[in-house]
Chain A
């Protein structure tokens, strides 16, 4: 079946421009995560959506970053006024929801490589 897809796969932009990154989760998955992966760094948690609950935005590094999830499915991560330090691979993952304390496997998309010149 279809996995998590992300678009674009690569994005090159100029400093100061806005970018939108898209994530299509696996159908039926109620949980959706955005992570940032910088060279030599682990995955940095950005934001988490679970069903209709308010998203956990605790990982967003600045107010230039925002994300939304429409209809409980597709999600868009927006970075305004991009800076060179925003260059990274942005990964999206989805999983089955369910309560806390239950094992939930995250299924990752291939990522969007963002380069800010």
Chain B
């Protein structure tokens, strides 16, 4: 079946850029998502990208998609302590069924 993988932990210094990586197996994925989960809260959609796009930028967030390698990344510029959270990568072929990765816990050090 489909699988989504992420590294589990990432630590960066405040002000640096963070890059969170994700790989997926389903080549027919149409939508790829990044969700953020703050402590004690549910997941919140951060951004998404269609599979026919290579890049999407939204303020401090940059999403890069390498469809050939099935690799998705999320770059957060000028990382702040408020960015500390768990970031989930997810993919969907039909916008109805979703497969989530295990989440990357981002720790931002002062």
Residues of A within 8 A of B (CB): 4, 31, 33, 35, 40-43, 45, 48, 50, 56, 91, 93, 100-111
Contacts and interface: CB of A to CB of B under 8 A. Distances in A.
B94 A100 contact: yes
Q: Which 7 A-B pairs have CB atoms at the shortest separation, nearest pair first?
A: A108-B42, A43-B100, A42-B102, A100-B94, A108-B43, A42-B100, A110-B42
B101 A42 contact: yes
For chain B, which range describes its interface: under 10, 10 to 19, 20 to 34, or 35 or more residues?
Answer: 20 to 34
A101 B30 contact: yes
Nearest to B48: A103
Contacts of A107: 45
B82 interface: no
Interface string B17-32: 0000000000000110
A16 B48 CA distance: 41
B10 to A, nearest CB: 15
Given A40-B8, A41-B102, A43-B88, A109 B42 contact: yes
Given A42-B88, A42-B100, A111-B42, 8 more contacts: A35-B100, A45-B97, A48-B96, A91-B42, A100-B94, A103-B48, A104-B95, A110-B41
Contacts of A35: 100
Contacts of A101: 30, 94-95
A7 B88 CA distance: 24
Contacts, number: 56
Nearest to A108: B42
A4 to B, nearest CB: 7
B43 A100 contact: no
Contacts of B101: 42
Contacts of A105: 45, 48
A103 B95 contact: yes
A104 B88 CA distance: 17
A45 B103 contact: no
B4 interface: yes
Contacts of B50: 103
B31 A45 contact: no
Contacts of B103: 42
15 contacts: A4-B42, A42-B4, A43-B88, A43-B90, A45-B97, A48-B97, A50-B96, A56-B97, A93-B43, A101-B94, A102-B95, A103-B50, A104-B96, A106-B45, A106-B98
